[in-house]
Amino acid sequence: MDRNRAITAGDIAAARAAFSADRGNLIARNAVSAAGIAAAARNPEAAALATTTFDIQLEQGDITDQKRSGRCWMFASLNTMRYRVMKKLGVKTFELSQAYPLFWDKLERANWFFENILATADLPLTDREVAYLLTDPLCDGGQWDMFRSLVKKYGVVPKEAMLETFHSSNTSALNQYLTRYLRGGAKRLRDAHAALADENELSALRTELLGGVWRVLAICLGEPPTSFDVRIRNEKGELKASGSYTPQQFFAEFVDMDLDDYLSVINAPTSDKPYGRSYTVKFLGNVVEDGGVRYVNLPMDALKRMAVAQLKDGLPVWFGSDVGQSFLSEDGVLDPAAFEVDQLFDLPIECGLDKAARLDYGESLMTHAMTLQGVNLDEAGAPTRWRIENSWGDDHGKKGYDVASDAWFDEYVYQVVVDKKYLTADELAAFESEPIELAPWDPMGALAD
């Protein structure tokens, strides 16, 4: 190590003198010491820009609450689906079970994990891919393609058919113990492979391990129903739905959505991901037989064009973003101007990296999925502000809704899910082309929770 690069007494003295000589530093110190960075940097003008009335505004049911779980991607997906149920039945509110897909995702993701453990069994534990697989095999987070795989296989059920439990709403301990069990299972599978176990022996061991996963899930979440009775009345007391259904039948009749028509479109303006190309992420998925994820990378204007078109047609839009950035949570406002941090510190903190650099340097990635339920447009038809349905309860933001400026959308939205009819022929051809495989740790493989 070069001693010439060490911090010296002279360096410290110069820093002290420069700090004390600037009156703004002293004012900022007093404000931050008393109230914290967020309060001191909060821009009241940004908070005042929020609105509750939009040019295009879809009316959803009661706000949902994922509580202490990382199921935002499930809640956002189910919120787009329950909207269809409500419109079909003419009811003001309705909720699909979020515990139901949680059960199946944990089971399928355990199987996915064991599949990849066997696929990498000849690699040493020190290999980066093996280490990645073992790091967090059973977190709550996910992406739209993974939810689509679950619904195609297992359907959906009304909330009454599989209610919340303590551990569906508080998943940390469930994840902790299941993860430990999975890592133990990984060791057993790798040891059996090293001992030259044949395919039948490995398959039997995998089946045994999955039986253990089912046991833990059934104890913590209850067993998912194979069929259930439905009675749904509207506000006038009129019976709008009645009968016995399987989860697949309920989805087909009441959600009535061609899942394969809905595609993931991303915006990753980094040099390693040219626009107009299809991408997948190694090891990212849950249902083995349905494969992994697929996106097409397009400029942000394309994402916004598609989202506005789908909203105009009366359907909400699933989207993924870095929700923790520039977020006045109590006000429910997302705006790059929300906090004047650079002015507070007189340093290029927020403006030091553009969107591409934030992805490249680990400053930002998709962290949360929500649902677009409205948009304001200027005279030219371009979006100015977005209405967002969150899944943090109705005591958050504006009765459960947030408002994002279009500038925030540009900077921190990474993915939208739209009907393929909103893609041009060239965009659709790009999506359907052979995907480029990204590394497991690529930021576009981030899971929304």
Whether residue 77 lies inside any domain: the answer is yes
What are the residue numbers of the active site?
72, 368, 390
Residue 52 pLDDT class (50, 70, 90 cuts) = confident
Whether 225 and 84 share a structural domain: yes
Whether 96 and 214 share a structural domain: yes
Whether 263 and 355 share a structural domain: yes
The pLDDT value recorded for residue 1 is 64
The pLDDT value recorded for residue 47 is 85
431 Cβ neighbours under 8 A, 6+ residues apart: 263, 265, 278, 294, 295, 296, 420, 423
Whether 19 and 91 share a structural domain: no
Whether residue 50 lies inside any domain: the answer is no
Residue 4 pLDDT class (50, 70, 90 cuts) = confident
Q: List, for residues 106-142, the tens digit of each pLDDT value.
A: 999 999 999 999 999 999 999 999 999 999 999 999 9
Q: List, for residues 383-432, the tens digit of each pLDDT value.
A: 999 999 999 999 999 999 999 999 999 999 999 999 999 999 999 999 99
- What CA–CA distance (Å, rounded) separates 229 from 300? 44
- What CA–CA distance (Å, rounded) separates 142 from 112? 13
Whether 87 and 164 share a structural domain: yes
The pLDDT value recorded for residue 48 is 81
Provide the CATH number for the domain around residue 156.
3.90.70.10
pLDDT at residue 5 is higher than 90 = no
CB 104 within 8 Å of CB 154: yes
pLDDT at residue 447 is higher than 80 = yes
Whether 37 and 73 share a structural domain: no
Whether 31 and 85 share a structural domain: no
Whether 36 and 173 share a structural domain: no
Using alpha carbons, select from 88, 393, 65, 58 the residue that is nearest to residue 234: 88
How many domains does the chain contain in total? 2
pLDDT at residue 50 is higher than 90 = no
Whether 29 and 152 share a structural domain: no
Whether residue 281 lies inside any domain: the answer is yes
Q: List, for residues 204-248, the tens digit of each pLDDT value.
A: 999 999 999 999 999 999 999 999 999 999 988 999 999 999 999
Helical H segments across 236-374, by residue range: 247-250, 300-312, 341-345, 355-360
Domain that holds residue 27: 8-41
Whether residue 433 lies inside any domain: the answer is yes
Whether 61 and 163 share a structural domain: yes
Whether 238 and 302 share a structural domain: yes
Whether 365 and 228 share a structural domain: yes
